[in-house]
Structure 1
Amino acid sequence: MSALPALGTPMPERTKSRLLELVKRHGPLTAQDLAQRLEVSVPAARRHLGDLQEQELIVCRTERPGGRGRPQHVFTLSERGEAAFPKTYSTLCVDVLRHIESLFGEGAVLRVLDARNVELAGRLRDDLAAAGSLGERVQTLAARLDEQGFDTTVEQDGDVWYLTERNCPNLTVARQYPQLCESELGLYLQVLDVPVQRDRRIACGQAACRYRIG
């Protein structure tokens, strides 16, 4: 029989998960607060906090308790840490699009997404303006998509470039509203200003979305 962990020394990954939950529910918290709640030593709590900071899941800031007294370091969730907890954004988005379609007709959803594309295209064009060749523009676009969770790769085949998205952060919405995928394709056409075709789509059950560019 394998030996069980000694009492008061939880397994590291489980401790990190509990630490994130505590910061989420009760934060901001000090290392001392967390050590007491987790029933571990303060140095052990600091080690876990250091790991979570390296993973960009929590951030540290200095504040005075109650607005006065001696400053202390407290820990809160980063945006990435917040994203690790379940959200209902996709459900809300689907509900909003459904009501738009019900109130204004089938074409209204695409018109709303196209209007959003105008704003997105303006931001992306500023980034792409500094890129010279088509390959540089595709690489810059891929970097911006990665920031949004698309997990992209870029490959070249002669004069043609392939942009592959291995994750769809909007999959729940895209499966119910293919207009979202149409809008994405339209956005890439606008900002790259060359022919763009999609030959794979995650929302259709394939492993990735892939765009042929050029």
Structure 2
Amino acid sequence: MSVEHLDETESTTRERVRDLIIELGPITAADMAERLDLTSAAIRRHLGALEKVGQVTVREDTSAAPRGRGRPAKRYIATPAAHKPAGEAYARLAVQALQQLGDEVGPAAVEEFARHRSAELTTRYRAAVEAAGEDVDARAAALAQALSHDGYAATSRPVGVSDTVAVQLCQGHCPVQQIAAQFPQLCEAETQAFADLLGVHVQRLATLAGGEHVCTTHIPVSIPTRAKE
């Protein structure tokens, strides 16, 4: 195998490790090795390289569950540097356009733009969500899959001790992250679209635009869905 091919293989594997952390973090090295079918040594090598360039960092396991003796397992999360740029020039242009819209027409114009985005998202994902049936958990999973298809690196994760009472929709990527950092109305519009699609009141717990490593939306699944209009 040539040096060039070896370097390309290493780079591709490292991207797979980084992308898995973006999608499923916080995640342990052992979980990564199992999911990617890599050795522990290979995972440690790639994690070291990703930490060196500032793309991943460690979050200590704060789980209340007893682990016995020894240090808590390290769980890795992605840093903002891990996310592929969504086009710096495009982001700057979009921010400037929204700023000018707000300055010349007023804040209500930006709010109206956000409402249009909410409606667009609802329309885009309605068919995929409706096909999952009436179960909120299944609808959330379908929404996560549809979002992942569009590059959001989304997953649907159950939360709760015994019976599942809620799921969390986690998005490792956000195509409008740089814009939403200055215009949180876009995050609010997305949250409203999720509520409309799932038929329940949802709560946004964290956002990439707000500096977190993932966008997290809390979705209750044990309460009756809202009546359709």
- TM-score category by the smaller chain? 0.5 to 0.7
What is the CA–CA distance in structure 2 between the aligned matches of 1:84 and 1:183, rounded to whole Å?
22
Question: RMSD over aligned Cα, in angstroms?
Answer: 2.4
Alpha carbons of 1:10 and 1:140: their partners in 2 closer, same or farther (altered >3 Å)?
same
Aligned to 1:211: 217
Aligned to 1:152: 154
2:98 aligned with 1:92: no
2:13 aligned with 1:11: no
Question: In the TM superposition, what is the alpha-carbon distance from 1:109 to its structure 2 partner?
Answer: 1.0
Contact 2:153/2:173 (8 A) holds in 1: yes
Alpha carbons of 1:204 and 1:123: their partners in 2 closer, same or farther (altered >3 Å)?
closer
Aligned to 2:110: 109
For residues 36-69 of structure 1, what are the alpha-carbon distances to aligned partners after superposition, in whole Å with 9 as ceiling and x for unaligned? xxxxxxxxxxxxxxxxxxxxxxxxxxxxxxxxxx
Question: In the TM superposition, what is the alpha-carbon distance from 1:174 to its structure 2 partner?
Answer: 1.1
TM normalised by structure 1 equals 0.58
Contact 2:117/2:189 (8 A) holds in 1: no
Query: What is the identity, as a one-letter code, of the residue corresponding to 1:106?
Result: P
Aligned to 1:118: 119
Alpha carbons of 1:141 and 1:85: their partners in 2 closer, same or farther (altered >3 Å)?
closer
Moved over 4 A (4+): 83-87
What is the CA–CA distance in structure 2 between the aligned matches of 1:106 and 1:95, rounded to whole Å?
14
Number of residue pairs aligned between Structure 1 and Structure 2: 139
Question: In the TM superposition, what is the alpha-carbon distance from 1:211 to its structure 2 partner?
Answer: 0.7
For residues 145-176 of structure 1, what are the alpha-carbon distances to aligned partners after superposition, in whole Å with 9 as ceiling and x for unaligned? 11222211211131211111122221110111
TM normalised by structure 2 equals 0.55
What is the CA–CA distance in structure 2 between the aligned matches of 1:149 and 1:127, rounded to whole Å?
16
Query: What is the identity, as a one-letter code, of the residue corresponding to 1:198?
Result: R
* Secondary structure of residue in 2 paired with 1:194: coil
- Asked which structure has the greater RCO (Cα within 8 Å, sep 6+), the reply is 2
Larger radius of gyration: 1
| Matched ranges for 1:124-139 at <5 A | 124-132=125-133, 133-139=135-141
Alpha carbons of 1:153 and 1:99: their partners in 2 closer, same or farther (altered >3 Å)?
same
For residues 94-153 of structure 1, what are the alpha-carbon distances to aligned partners after superposition, in whole Å with 9 as ceiling and x for unaligned? 121111111211121121121132232123222211112111111111112112222112
What is the CA–CA distance in structure 1 between the aligned matches of 2:138 and 2:152, rounded to whole Å?
18
What is the CA–CA distance in structure 1 between the aligned matches of 2:188 and 2:208, rounded to whole Å?
13
Question: In the TM superposition, what is the alpha-carbon distance from 1:85 to its structure 2 partner?
Answer: 9.3
Alpha carbons of 1:85 and 1:93: their partners in 2 closer, same or farther (altered >3 Å)?
closer
Query: What is the identity, as a one-letter code, of the residue corresponding to 1:115?
Result: H
Q: Percent identity?
A: 30
Question: In the TM superposition, what is the alpha-carbon distance from 1:84 to its structure 2 partner?
Answer: 8.6
Aligned to 1:178: 184
For residues 64-104 of structure 1, what are the alpha-carbon distances to aligned partners after superposition, in whole Å with 9 as ceiling and x for unaligned? xxxxxxxxxxxxxxxxxxx9995622122112111111121
Aligned to 1:189: 195
* Secondary structure of residue in 2 paired with 1:125: helix
What is the CA–CA distance in structure 1 between the aligned matches of 2:92 and 2:122, rounded to whole Å?
26
